[in-house]
């Protein structure tokens, strides 16, 4: 029964294949835009939550950028002193505090040379912040840990010798496990050396940055407040920021991008809706006589309506399925560009983003089919029969 009307609708769309395809294209674009953005949004949230849940939240402390004077000395405060680090340890209690130097140097490995980002920290702190994939952690005051990306770049292996600008050489003792996008440091692209070794060769007034690993995420705000009270009462000395804050600012930017693209998706769906409306109104006019015949041989108004709704739904379904399939490609590309990973493409959240986009596509088609269907079902059978 409804199979007959379904078949009717299908044949009619096929009869005007080109026109039907044009109507479908709009739906495809709309669904694609909405779904791809949904996938990106979910992947972003997933990657960040995953990061937060594995490494916990970390609080970065850096010197206040800008001019600051201590004890009226009038000098530029762009380091964190040993005393300040001690104060920080007191404030945060049992949460690990990791002070380090952050620098860059020209290095040479065999025949290759280039610039490397370098973190210098206490070997005891290293296991708190990175993991070794090959080789061992640094013990004592020599050795280098190399991030996987920089290791690829310079062909570094456990045992490789690195020569620094000043002529000193050190061996790689461990290659780090890939950590991915981080909010505190970027070990994947860096070398990590013992702080004592670094201090022996450089005259440093203090650390460049301190990372505080906060075990309980809910504690982050309290700690930030406490640090702020201790150091910044009179003037800003230290800036703190948590992964959470960075995350929320990323999400804010992303929110704007996604509002924009979703709007584009929405607009293309509206355009698609109008084109479906248009296609179906044409179909109603062209088939006036046919509708008259169908009514005269006993087709109910509701059945005529059903036939046209099926047509709209078919356009919507074909467009949405195509759009949904293409969204995997779209989501893949956009995640790769923005997040450098596509591992969340088949996550249930991404799939539900596609389902949502498809839902919008079908709903749009259905909505634009309602008026033509109503119009067709209300044709006066005699007028329709007289129509040529």
Partner 1 sequence: METVTAVGSDDPVLIRFDDVSKVYPLPAGDVVALDRVSLTVVRGEFIAIMGPSGSGKTTLLNLIGCLDVPTSGRLVINGRDVADLTDDDLTYLRRDTIGFIFQHFNLIPLLSVMENVEYPLILKCKDRDACGMKPFEVLKAAGLDDERLYTHKPNELSGGQQQRVAIARALVNDPSLLLCDEPTGNLDQKTGKAIMDLLAEMNRAGKTIIMVTHDLGIASYANRQVRIVDGRIMEDTG
By CB under 6 A, residue 296 contacts ligand ATP: no
By CB under 6 A, residue 382 contacts ligand ATP: yes
Q: In the structure encoding, which two tokens stand for residue 133, read together?
A: 């994939």
User: Contact region for ligand ATP (CB under 6 A) — 43-51, 169-177, 280-288, 379-387?
Assistant: 379-387
Report what 17 binds from ligand ATP, partner 1, none; CB cut-off 5-8 Å by kind: none
β-bridge mates for residue 242, sequence order: 59
Smallest distance from ligand ATP to CB 291, Å: 15
Backbone phi, then psi, for 65, in 5-degree steps? -75, 130
Q: Over the range 53-70, which residues count as b (16 or more CB within 10 Å of their CB) and which as e?
A: eebbbbbbbbbeeeebee
292/361 with CB nearer ligand ATP:
292
Q: Which residues contact 326 (CB under 8 A, 6 or more apart)?
A: 28, 32
Q: Which stretch binds ligand ATP (CB under 6 A): 193-201, 268-276, 305-313, 380-388?
A: 380-388
Measured distance CA(129)–CA(147) in Å, rounded: 12
Name which of 95 and 306 has its Cβ closer to partner 1. 306
In the complex with partner 1, the residue whose CB is nearer, 124 or 303, is: 303
Q: Phi first, then psi: what are they for 204, rounded to 5°? A: -105, 140
233 binds, among partner 1, ligand ATP, none (CB under 5 to 8 A by kind): none
Of the pair 165, 383, the CB lying nearest ligand ATP is at 383
Taking the least distance from each CB to ligand ATP, the nearer of 313 and 385 is 385
Site string for ligand ATP, 329-368 (x = CB under 6 A): ----------------------------------------
Task: Measure the CA–CA gap between 198 and 170, rounded to whole angstroms.
Answer: 12
Please identify, using beta-carbon distances, which residue of 293 and 355 lies nearer to partner 1: 293
CA-to-CA distance for 260 and 36, rounded, in angstroms?
13
- Partner from ligand ATP, partner 1, none binding residue 298, C-beta < 5-8 Å depending on class: partner 1
**Nearer to ligand ATP (CB atom), residue 194 or residue 292:** 292
Strand locations in 180-313 (E): 190-194, 209-214, 238-242
| Alpha-carbon distance values, 235 to 71, 72, 345 (Å) | 12, 12, 47
- Stretch binding ligand ATP (CB under 6 A), from 88-96, 337-345, 350-358, 378-386: 378-386
Chain residues binding partner 1 by CB under 8 A are 1, 3-4, 8, 11-12, 15, 289-290, 293-303, 381-382, 385
CA neighbours closer than 13 Å in the CB half-sphere of residue 213? 17
Q: List C-alpha distances in Å: 5 to 2, 11, 18, 55.
A: 5, 10, 21, 58
Which residues contact ligand ATP (rule: CB under 6 A)?
382-383, 386
């Amino acid at each position: 029964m409804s199979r007959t009307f379904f078949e009717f609708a299908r044949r009619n769309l096929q009869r005007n294949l080109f026109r039907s395809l044009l109507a479908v294209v709009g739906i495809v674009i709309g669904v694609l835009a909405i779904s791809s953005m949904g996938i990106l949004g979910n992947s972003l949230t997933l990657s960040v939550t995953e990061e937060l849940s594995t490494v916990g939240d970390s609080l970065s402390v850096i010197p206040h950028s800008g001019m600051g004077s201590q004890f009226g000395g009038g000098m530029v405060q762009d380091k964190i002193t040993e005393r300040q680090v001690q104060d920080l340890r007191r404030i945060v209690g049992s949460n690990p505090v990791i002070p380090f130097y952050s620098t860059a140097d020209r290095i040479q490995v065999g025949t290759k040379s280039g610039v490397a980002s370098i973190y210098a920290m206490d070997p005891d702190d290293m296991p708190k912040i990175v993991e070794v994939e090959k080789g061992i952690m640094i013990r004592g005051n020599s050795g280098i840990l190399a991030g996987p990306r920089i290791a690829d770049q310079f062909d570094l292996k456990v045992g490789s010798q690195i020569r620094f600008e000043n002529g000193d050489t050190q061996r790689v003792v461990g290659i780090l496990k890939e950590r991915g996008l981080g909010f505190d440091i970027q070990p994947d692209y860096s070398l990590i050396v013992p702080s004592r070794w670094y201090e022996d060769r450089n005259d440093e007034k203090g650390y460049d940055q301190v990372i505080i690993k906060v075990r309980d995420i809910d504690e982050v705000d309290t700690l930030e407040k406490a640090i702020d009270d201790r150091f910044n009462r009179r003037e800003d000395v230290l800036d703190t920021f948590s992964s959470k804050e960075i995350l929320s600012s990323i999400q804010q930017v992303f929110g704007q991008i996604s509002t924009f693209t979703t709007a584009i998706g929405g607009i293309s769906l509206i355009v698609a809706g109008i084109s479906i409306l248009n296609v179906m109104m044409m179909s109603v006019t062209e088939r006036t006589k046919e509708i008259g015949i169908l009514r005269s041989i006993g087709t109910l108004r509701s059945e005529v309506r059903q036939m046209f709704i099926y047509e709209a739904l078919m356009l919507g379904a074909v467009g949405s399925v195509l759009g949904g399939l293409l969204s995997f490609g779209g989501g893949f590309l956009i995640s790769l560009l923005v997040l450098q990973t596509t591992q969340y493409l088949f996550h249930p959240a991404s799939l539900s983003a596609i389902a949502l986009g498809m839902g919008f596509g079908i709903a749009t088609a259905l909505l634009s089919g309602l008026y033509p269907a109503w119009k067709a079902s209300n044709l006066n059978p005699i007028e329709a029969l007289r129509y040529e």
